[in-house]
Amino acid sequence: MSNVLVKKRVVITGIGLVSPLGNTTEETWAGLLAGKCGVDYITRFDTSQHKVKFAAETKNFDPLNFVEKKEVKKMDYFIFFAIAAAKEALANSGLQITPAIAEEVGVYIGSGIGGFGVFEREHTKMLEGGPSRISPFFIPASIVNLASGHVSIMTGAKGPNSATATACSTGAHAIGDSFRIIERGDALAMICGGSEGAITPMSVGGFASMHALSTRNDDPVHASRPFDKERDGFVIGEGAGIFVLEELEHAKARGAKIYAEIVGYGMTSDAFHITMPDMDGPRRVMLKTIKDAGIQAEQVAYINTHGTSTPVGDANETRAIKAAFGEHAYKLAISSTKSMTGHLLGGAGGLEAGITSLAIYNQIIPPTINYENPDPECDLDCVPNEARQATIEYALSNSFGFGGTNAALLFRRYE
């Protein structure tokens, strides 16, 4: 008897996006193709004492459209965003989680920070009135795995239930790990991705203290400018990107719409510095992902980059792409959609995996906006300022996080 594992093929049948460009996938995609910017002055709190006064907030997002009123106090925004995106992804996929398959459907949604807003609010209450003022919902509203927990309860999915918190690689790791779960036959489908709701006084203040954020308070719309010579830091964003991943034969049997096939996943560590990136980790993660897919580097047509708009990060990623792809680096297209959505931290990998899949499905590459001043260190084709029709068979999505944690996902056009 053979013990060789036959890997299952895994496809994307549902996409749910909540972003600063819109509260649905359709709105987000339309905004991306139009080169719309979701960055503006912060409305969530008083920024008079803050060095950075702008962010990429979601617009007109009402939790009551997705959660019953009595449940709202039990959750933080990262949970609201995850539920909203998961509901859209499931509706979009048409997957019915019946008792017959409930134990074969899992949930794997991560967050880089979790309930920062709830933590700040409850800490203030404790300082003002003592420990007895702390809400009994404080812990379940703030811990990272409760996005997965609530989505599991909401959908009745009884399969694998997990979460990850790997900074800005979170969403990509959650999707990649879910891919592996289906690939080895431990689930038929996974609801997976990343979510973040960390536009709060402490979060914005903390990132500003470490000089990670852009300080263009006079011009927020042009603050996120990946690969541009005048870039000065990232813009914090919020939202979620959630997939329904499904085993191919199961998806075909029910006549599901298939956006793309996920064919490669890689993980590496820089083992270098807590915040400063190193070129070798991103280089290796791209090559590992390509090898996992069993293709040649020259077959990749598009990379949705990590591209945060930081001086060091964008130059480092450019060097890594050149090192991984050689001369082909100058023939493929790259873009950073963070120029429009800001950086969703733990939600970025989910959102950008969704965008990469839509780029393959629609054969259109969203642009890098605010690109005005070429940087000799960032000399690849970043699809400046306007979306572009393209032939895309394979596309890569990069996510790199503090602590040197890297993830990449490779998608293939499904026909």
CA dihedral 384, 281, 346, 21 (to 10 degrees): 10
211 among known catalytic residues: no
Q: Are 90 and 118 in contact (CB under 8 A)?
A: no
> Active-site residue among 250, 343, 378, 382?
343
Which listed residue (37, 168, 192, 378) is catalytic? 168
Element holding 282 (H helix, E strand): helix 280-293
- C-alpha dist (Å) from residue 163 to 81, 95, 146, 192, 216: 15, 22, 8, 9, 34
Q: State the catalytic residue, choosing from 37, 173, 306, 378.
A: 306
Cα distance between residue 37 and residue 338, in whole Å: 9
Tell which residue, 297, 240, 245, 286, has the closest CA to residue 400: 286
Sign of the torsion formed by the C-alpha atoms of 322, 326, 327 and 329: negative
Query: First CA to last CA across the chain, in angstroms?
Result: 34
The yes-or-no answer on residue 222 being catalytic is: no
- Residue 24 CB neighbour total at 10 angstroms: 17
Q: Where does 345-393 show beta strands of DSSP type E?
A: 364-365, 388-389
Shortest CA distance to 395 belongs to which of 301, 308, 289? Answer: 301
What span, in angstroms and rounded, lies between the C-alpha atoms of 380 and 18?
29
Closest CA to 336 of 303, 372, 362: 303
168 is catalytic: yes
Closest CA to 70 of 145, 144, 137, 152: 137
Per the CB < 8 A criterion, the answer to whether 151 and 189 are in contact is no
**Measured between alpha carbons, how far is 283 from 303 in angstroms, rounded to an integer?**
13
DSSP state, 169?
G
Nearest CA-CA partner of 85 in 240, 193, 244: 240
What are the start-end ranges of the H helices in 130-258? Answer: 138-142, 146-155, 170-183, 201-209, 248-253
Report, as residue numbers or ranges, the catalytic residues: 168, 306, 343
